[in-house]
Structure 1
Amino acid sequence: MLRCARNDGVGIPEQLSLARRGVLAAGVGFAVLLLAPSSARARPSLQEAIRGFAGGAEIHPGRIKFDIPPLVENGNAVGVTVAVDSPMTAADHVRRIGLFNEKNPQADMVVFHLGPRSGRASVATRLRLATSQTIVALAEMSDGTVWSAEADVIVTLAACIEDLS
C-alpha cells in the first residue's frame, strides 16, 4: 500500500512528492543564477567588445562620420547618428555598424545589420549613457575591413545608475 502525503489518503504518493520537491528546488536555484544582478556577472571591457565585433580584423580609423553631442545634460536619451562612406553596392557595402562604450553596464550598446539594399550606410538612434565616457562606432565592410570613429561625451545627469567601479 502506498502512503500519501495528505492525511485523507487521496494525495500524492510520498516518493513522487519528494521527487517533485527536488525538481522544484533545482528549478528555483537555476532561476536565481539566471536572475543574478548584472553587477555579479563579468562585464566585458570596451577593448574586448571591440575585438569581438572585429573578429580579429585590423581596425582602421576613418570612413565614419560620427555625430553625437560632446556635452549632454541628461544621459537618458542621447541622440547619435553614424554614417559610413560607402557606395552601398553589391560589391562594396557596409555589413554592420556597432556602437560601444566604456562605462555603461554593457559594453556593446547596439549592432545594426545592413546590406546593399539599405540604400545608405547611415543609422540614427538614442543611447542611455551612465556617465561621461568614450563612445566608439565601428563599421564592418563587405570586404572584411573594419573602420572606427570615437567621441568623448560629457554627461551632467547620468542614466543607468549601477556600481560602475
Structure 2
Amino acid sequence: MDDPSRNQNLSFPIGRRQVLAAGLAGLVVVSLPRRVLARPSLEEAINTFTGGAEVLDGRVRLELPPLVENGNAVGITIAAESPMTAADHVRRIGVFNEKNPEANVVVFQLGPRCGRAEVSTRIRLATSQVVVAVAEMSDGSFWSSRASAIVTLAACIEDLS
C-alpha cells in the first residue's frame, strides 16, 4: 500500500493539469497573414537569387517551345555566352517561372571545368506563362533571357490565385 505521507514529500514545480495545458497549447495552429504564406512573385524570386543586383538582358539563350501540349514535361535548354575559363565563367544558372506553385524551378551550379555553359532539363508548367533564366557570371554580373509558353494541358495545378 502507498503511504499518503510519502507522496507529500515529493515536490513537483508544476502540476499534472499544467503539463496537459502546455501540451494542448502546442497544438494551437498559428494563423499567419496571407502575405507570409503567399508564393513569391517572379521578380521576388529573381531578387533572392541575385541578392538584389541588377539583371541585364543578353548573354543567355533560353530555348522553350512556344506551344506546349502537355505541361508535365517541358524540355528547356539554357546556354550562356562564356569562354568558361578560370577567369571568366558562369557560376550559376537559375530558372524561374511566373505561375507555378513554386517560383523557383532549378538552380544549376557551374564552373570553368564544365567546358561550356549549357544545360538541358525538363520542367513542369502549371499553365501558360513566362519562364526566365538568369546566369551569374564569375565577375558578379547577372544576365537573363525570357520566354513565353502557351500550355494546352496544364500540370501541377493548385490554387494559383
Q: Across the two proteins, how many residue pairs are aligned to each other?
A: 151
Q: Normalised by the size of structure 2, how large is the TM-score?
A: 0.81
Name the amino acid aligned to 1:113.
Q
Larger CA deviation: 59-68 vs 129-138: 59-68
- 3-state SS of the aligned residue for 2:84? coil
Larger CA deviation: 132-141 vs 110-119: 110-119
For 1:19 and 1:70, how far apart are their aligned partners in 2? 62
Bigger CA radius of gyration: 2
Deviation, 1:151, is 0.3
For the 8 Å contact 1:132–1:154, the answer to whether it is kept is yes
Match of 1:96 among 92, 109, 128: 92
What does residue 24 of structure 2 align with? 25
1:111 and 2:107 aligned = yes
What does residue 6 of structure 1 align with? none
For 2:142 and 2:136, how far apart are their aligned partners in 1? 4
Mapping of residues 1-165 of structure 1, within 5 Å: 1=4, 2=7, 17-18=16-17, 20-22=19-21, 24-29=23-28, 41-165=37-161
- 3-state SS of the aligned residue for 2:143? strand
Which 4+ residue blocks in structure 1 deviate beyond 6 angstroms? none
For the 8 Å contact 1:77–1:127, the answer to whether it is kept is yes
For the 8 Å contact 1:39–1:163, the answer to whether it is kept is no
Unaligned runs of 5+ in 1: 4-12
- 3-state SS of the aligned residue for 1:97? strand
For 2:22 and 2:84, how far apart are their aligned partners in 1? 54
Unaligned runs of 5+ in 2: none
For 2:15 and 2:75, how far apart are their aligned partners in 1? 57
Q: Normalised by the size of structure 1, how large is the TM-score?
A: 0.79
Deviation, 1:25, is 2.9
Name the amino acid aligned to 1:108.
N
What does residue 7 of structure 1 align with? none
Deviations 1:7-36 (A, max 9, x none): xxxxxx9x665455345434444xx66xx9
